[in-house]
Amino acid sequence: MRPSSLSFLLLQLCLPVAWASVTVYNQQPFGDQTKSVASGSNTAAAAAYTGSAAYDPTVLDAPGVPNPAPPTKFFQQLSSAPVPGLSIPQSGYFFGFSVEFSVANQVLGTNSTRLAVPFLNLMANIQARGGSVRVRVGGNTQDYATMFPSLPGGKMLLKQAQDTANPTDTPALLFTPDVLYMMANISALVNVEWYLGIPLNDTANLRLQIAEAAEPILGDKLIGFQVGNEPDQYPLHQHRPPTYGPANFSADFGLVDAALLFRVNGSRKKCGTSTLSRPLAESR
């Protein structure tokens, strides 16, 4: 006869139940390890900071006030009379700075979609204090710059081999309109206004593509075009005859002015060039 399930259940209820526990003292290695860690923590010195000094959490105690204490009030005599030689009021953006054209992709950004964050941060800091920033993109390389619709590898700027006959070793600079779009995108984020350099190394074949493209791309963020770069150094650098002087530059400026009026919808956004400390007549 097979036992029923009820018989098994009754048998289990009759079995005694036992509960047991074991306590172990100084079990190796736990017991000694606990003691050594506890004793070591009481004598260990604080860890010395070894990271960057800019993030050192050390707090220095301020020294006491010297005796006698320095003054805390100062008297300044003010005058209501006009200051002699004082200029007219200047805006906070009166001073700007220049970026050499050939390194614009290292300062402003690699292209119109990859802007340089450090440059944007600097512009934002200056804007917060002066209202806006004026930046000139030009220099020696502007006189040898030529715009192309595109360049190999999708590059924005490309330097050709240096001309060994050029005393300034200025390479020919090739660029695309993406340079101008990059500048426009910067101005969309921070209040930057621009000066642009127009090439003047060959007045017989003026290259005004940069002006033709910049006006519609930059709009009111374009302040003006700089005609040439340091013409007082042209004779010294063998870019013009030794007799080149102010009258010659004025004539060259007139050629560019007339060409811009004809080709760039009557543009009047032109300005004189930068010079060194010596006048043109002294550079001969």
pLDDT at 34 over 60: no
Tell me: the pLDDT tens digits for 36-73? 444 445 556 667 888 888 888 888 899 999 999 999 99
The pLDDT of residue 280 is 43
Band (pLDDT 50/70/90 cuts) for residue 203 is confident
Domain boundaries, the chain: 97-283
- Candidate CATH numbers 2.40.420.20, 3.20.20.80, 3.40.190.10, 3.40.30.10; the one for domain 97-283: 3.20.20.80
Tell me: the pLDDT tens digits for 145-202? 999 999 999 999 998 766 556 665 667 899 999 999 999 999 999 999 999 999 988 8
Mean pLDDT value across residues 24-41 = 52
HEC assignment per residue over the chain? CCCCHHHHHHHHHHCCCCCCCCCCCCCCCHHHHHHHHHHHHCCCCCCCCCCCHHHCCCCCCCCCCCCCCCCCCCCCCCCCCCCCCCCCCCCCCCCCEEEEHHHHHHHCEEECCEECHHHHHHHHHHHHHHCCEEEEEECHHHHHEEECCCCHHHCCEEEEEECCCCCCCCEEEEECCHHHHHHHHHHHHCCEEEEEEECCCCHHHCCCHHHHHHHHHHHHHEEEEEECCCHHHCCCCCCCCCCCCHHHHHHHHHHHHHHHHHHCCCCCCEECCCCCCCCHHHHC
Band (pLDDT 50/70/90 cuts) for residue 284 is very low
Mean pLDDT value across residues 11-38 = 54
| Percent over 90 (pLDDT), the chain | 42
The pLDDT of residue 127 is 94
**Ranges 101-105, 118-122, 208-212, 278-282: which has the least confidence:** 278-282
